[in-house]
Structure 1
Amino acid sequence: MENMEAIINQLGLENQIFLQDIPNIDLYMDQVIQLFENKFQYSKRNDDEKILTKTMINNYAKGKLLFPIENKKYSKEHLMLISLIYQLKGALSINDIKKTLHGVNQKVMEEDGSFDLSLFYECCLRLADKNVKQFTESIRELVAEAEEEIKPLDDQEKNYLENVLLIASLVNMSNYYRRAAEKLVDNISETNDSQ
């Protein structure tokens, strides 16, 4: 399946909001949206897809996925959290994201300033970079497995059937990862409830 390498390249997996992309001044909502649109424009499935909208940001704020916004401006910390939300919302519900980031938001708001969100965010970015490499290798293995599985079939449409096998496999893996993430969210919730 030669075109899989091209598909991987089109996914924009390396697109991230890096700390150097975030200005050292607070931004208005339109500026936040523009930053995300510029950074993730090549990650979109089609031109109609929105990366971030005013409604989304307002819902994150109202849903307490972010610590309070001051004077309608978003700090560097807000942008890091919005970036994390953007990454998490592909697999988790808004409620699960809220549970996941609750402790991070609490740490950011602590008056002693002992928690450095930038350091934590850098850890997330490094891990995401490693995930891209693991994902690429995993895709190559899945393609090889799909090609091997389809060999015994005597069908003119082997390429189509191979794609169906690969889609089913990718969806299975996605579901396994999502379910494991949900279990971790449940563990966070249980730990918070017992404290």
Structure 2
Amino acid sequence: MTIDAKDMLNSILKSISRIDYIHPGDIPNIDLYMDQVTTFMDSQLASTKRYSEDKILTKTMINNYAKNNLLPPPVKKKYTKEHVLVLIFIYYFKNILSIKDIEILLKPITDNAFSADGDLDLTVLYEEVCAMEKGQIEPLQEEIKKAYKQAESTFESADTKDRDYLQLFSFICSLSFDVYVKKLLIEKIIDGLPSSEEKSSKK
């Protein structure tokens, strides 16, 4: 591939190495109004935007999440630290999963964490998951470099003027296939989880 493509790869790998998460200690310990929640999320996740005008979270989004049972209702129009943690999970899940799938996935967690007699600490859960994901960054970088190298070996007989683009296309296809397979796997796992309706009928 061209030097431009290699520069692009290096830029991607560097950006992956800088991936971080919102640390629980950065979340205000006081309950927040909706405007404060959207402002906080926008400032903390600004680096994940593709375009500067993209919105991380809006009032409409929060209302839709509550309407679709993804987010427990606020208390006196205020959102707790636990609400913010749930919103962070939703933000990442919504890029690959349907609203219904996210509801099924989060319902057991929110039911426990937001109930009076629940024993699940959302901060501990969040930190555990984030620590695991941080540990996957280096293996992910190696996986991407391997996919790039494999793509470089494709279309070797193509015209020089076409080869660079076709190899770049191969690289994108390889990454896309990986995402596709993992999305299918996630959906299969979620399909095996009991839905809220099934839980209700058992009760």
Same topology, TM > 0.5: yes
Find the aligned partners of 1:60 and 1:151 in 2 and give their Cα distance: 49
TM norm structure 1: 0.91
Counterpart check, 1:159 vs 2:189: no
Q: In the alignment, is residue 133 of structure 1 matched against residue 138 of structure 2? A: yes
Structure 1 partner of 2:6: 2
- State whether structure 2 residue 69 is matched by structure 1 residue 64: yes
Alignment-mate amino acid for residue 139 of structure 2: Q
Residues 1:96 and 2:101 are matched in the alignment: yes
Distance in 2 between the 1:56 and 1:12 partners?
30
Structure 1: gaps (5+ residues): none
Q: How many residues align?
A: 195
Q: 1:11 to 1:54 in 2, by over 3 A?
A: farther
User: Is the CA contact (8 Å cut-off) linking 1:28 and 1:72 kept in structure 2?
Assistant: yes
In the alignment, which residue of structure 1 is the partner of 2:33?
28
Question: In 1, Cα distance between the equivalents of 2:71 and 2:196?
Answer: 21
Task: Give CA-to-partner distance per residue, 1:127-161, whole Å, 9 cap, x none.
Answer: 22123333222111110110122334343232211
Matches of residues 76-155 of structure 1 in structure 2 within 5 Å?
Answer: 76-155=81-160
Gaps of 5+ in 2: none
Give, in angstroms, the shift of residue 57 of structure 1: 0.7
Distance 2:187 2:22 in 1: 24
Aligned partners of 2:151 and 2:167 also within 8 Å? yes
Q: Superposition pairs for residues 177-188 of structure 1, below 5 Å? A: 177-188=182-193
Whole-Å separation in 2 of the counterparts to 1:96 and 1:76 = 23
8 Å contact from structure 2 (residues 104, 195) kept in 1: no
In terms of mean alpha carbon deviation, does 113-122 or 90-99 score higher? 113-122
What percent of counterpart residues are identical? Answer: 34
Judge which range, 108-117 or 53-62, deviates more.
108-117
Task: Give, in whole Å, the separation in 1 of the partners of 2:18 and 2:177.
Answer: 20
> How far does residue 67 in structure 1 lie from its aligned partner after superposition?
1.7
Q: Give 3-state SS (helix, strand or coil) of 2:71's partner.
A: coil
Contact 1:13/1:132 (<8 A) preserved:
no
The aligned amino acid for 2:68 is G
Say which of 12, 16, 23 aligns to 2:21. Answer: 16
- Cα shift at 1:18: 1.3
SS of 1:149's equivalent in the other structure is: coil
Aligned equivalents of 1:123, 1:172: Cα separation in 2: 28
Residue 109 of structure 1 and its aligned partner are, at CA, apart by 2.5
How far 1:43 moved relative to its partner? 1.3
What's the CA shift string for 1:38-95, capped at 9, x where partnerless?
1221211112211111111111111110122111111010010000001111100011
Tell whether the 8 Å contact from 2:96 to 2:183 is kept in structure 1 after alignment: yes
Cα distance between partner residues in 2 of 1:193 and 1:61: 21
C-alpha spacing 1:33/1:50, structure 2 compared with 1 (3 Å): same
Secondary structure of 1:33 counterpart: helix
